[in-house]
């Protein structure tokens, strides 16, 4: 049996984490963390997810700082990131997209669109990794 893709979800809202876990659990292995710092500790402990879905507004290490840390890392910088946030600002979205995230969803979002985006991102990165 092939290994299921692993998705790391980062959001300080417990209800949102539970919703996202339920949304993805049938197709993916889901790990949830409640802030960027605990997610970073999990990554540094030797874990490498196939996709990260993160909120921006979190305590300890917010989403923007988390992405900046990923980008500085030689090991984690290629892990695709999708942002889910309550910020509905075009300038904020542009700033975050310039950090290299793959998609940006504003809460409330359409769960089917998020599932589709995750599927597309994962297929794209798998193709990229399999090119000789």
Domains of the chain (ranges, CATH numbers): 6-126 (3.40.50.2300)
Mean pLDDT over 79-94 rounds to 92
pLDDT at position 3: 76
Q: What residue has token string 């300080």?
A: 12
What residues contact 45, with CB distance under 8 A and at least 6 apart? none
- CB neighbours (10 Å) of residue 26? 8
| First-last CA distance in the chain | 24
Model pLDDT for residues 13-55, shown as the tens digit of each residue:
999 999 999 999 999 999 999 999 999 999 999 999 999 999 9
Region 74-96: mean pLDDT is 91
Q: Is the pLDDT of residue 71 over 50?
A: yes
Beta bridge partners of residue 83, listed in sequence order: 54, 104
In contact, 16 and 69? CB cutoff 8 Å = no
**Full-prediction pTM beyond 0.85?**
yes
Show the tokens assigned to 18: 């539970």
pLDDT band at 132 (very low <50, low <70, confident <90, very high): very low
**What does the pLDDT read at residue 131?**
41
Edge-to-edge strand order for the sheet containing 103-106?
29-33, 6-10, 51-54, 81-85, 103-106
């Amino acid at each position: 049996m092939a290994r299921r893709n692993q998705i790391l979800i980062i959001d300080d809202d417990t209800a949102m984490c539970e919703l996202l876990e339920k949304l993805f659990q049938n197709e993916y292995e889901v790990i949830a963390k409640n802030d960027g710092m605990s997610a970073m500790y999990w990554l540094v402990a030797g874990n490498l997810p196939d996709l990260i879905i993160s909120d921006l507004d979190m305590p300890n290490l917010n989403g923007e700082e988390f992405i900046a840390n990923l980008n500085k890392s030689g090991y984690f910088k290629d892990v695709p990131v999708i942002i889910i946030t309550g910020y509905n600002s075009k300038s904020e979205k542009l700033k975050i997209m310039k950090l290299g995230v793959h998609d940006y969803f504003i809460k409330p979002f359409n769960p089917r669109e998020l599932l589709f985006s995750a599927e597309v991102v994962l297929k794209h990165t798998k193709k990229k990794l399999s090119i000789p």
